[in-house]
């Protein structure tokens, strides 16, 4: 088994809201789960009874707790935009950042091609293979950087899952408010 292929740590959440790490056979806190994630562990949280995946909700709770502790994790206007847009603000930020990086990579590629062309004209054909090799290495580096950017942006793919969880939570709140009104009318 490759080292990079880590086993997913399953955390069971019980009705009493306790979290149980099935791999290490111990109860854990939200801070513990946050620490696991910061150390690169793949964590999945499931409801012990219904087997529903609660990972997104739990990660949102961890972010909430971090915000309470640090009071500066995210700027206030960003938090308001996340609530207003249901995660669209995060998606916009990622898209703008990605566009900027792609533009810079494209500019760097164009510059490298220009430099290659000028070297070719100046040095002649004997050194042409050396220049082609340097140019190829520059292109490989550019592709490597582009791949890393794509993988980083891929980590934001859970945004749509968070949007769904927020949507579900809103629906649950509306349902509970409706039930509460019905109960109060009795």
- Per-domain residue ranges for the chain? 1-73, 74-186
For residues 110 and 102, what is the distance between their CA atoms, to the nearest angstrom? Answer: 12
Of the candidates 101, 81, 88, 68, the residue with the CA atom closest to the CA atom of residue 162: 88
- Pick from 25-29, 101-105, 131-135, 155-159: least confident: 155-159
Of the candidates 85, 143, 138, the residue with the CA atom closest to the CA atom of residue 116: 138
Give the 3-state secondary structure of residue 64.
Answer: helix
Judge contact between 34 and 62, C-beta under 8 A.
yes
Q: What is the pLDDT of residues 9-24, one digit of tens each?
A: 999 999 988 999 999 9
Mean pLDDT over all residues of the chain? 77
Query: Within 10 Å of residue 33's Cβ, how many Cβ atoms?
Result: 22
């Amino acid at each position: 088994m490759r080292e990079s292929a880590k086993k997913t740590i399953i955390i069971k959440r019980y009705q009493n809201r306790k979290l149980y790490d099935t791999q290490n056979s111990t109860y854990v806190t939200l801070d513990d789960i946050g620490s696991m994630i910061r150390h690169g562990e793949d964590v999945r949280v499931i409801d012990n009874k219904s087997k529903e995946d609660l990972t997104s909700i739990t990660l949102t709770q961890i972010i909430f707790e971090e915000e309470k502790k640090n009071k500066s994790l995210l700027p206030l206007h960003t938090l308001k935009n996340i609530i207003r847009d249901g995660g669209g603000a995060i998606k916009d930020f990622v898209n703008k950042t990605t566009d900027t990086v792609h533009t810079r990579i494209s500019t760097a590629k164009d510059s490298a091609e220009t430099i290659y062309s000028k070297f070719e004209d100046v040095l002649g054909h004997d050194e042409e293979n050396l220049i082609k090799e340097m140019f190829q290495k520059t292109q490989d580096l550019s592709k490597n950087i582009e791949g890393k950017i794509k993988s980083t942006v891929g980590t934001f793919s859970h945004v749509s899952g968070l949007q769904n969880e927020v949507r579900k939570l809103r629906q649950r709140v509306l349902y509970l408010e409706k039930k509460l009104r019905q109960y109060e009318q009795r």
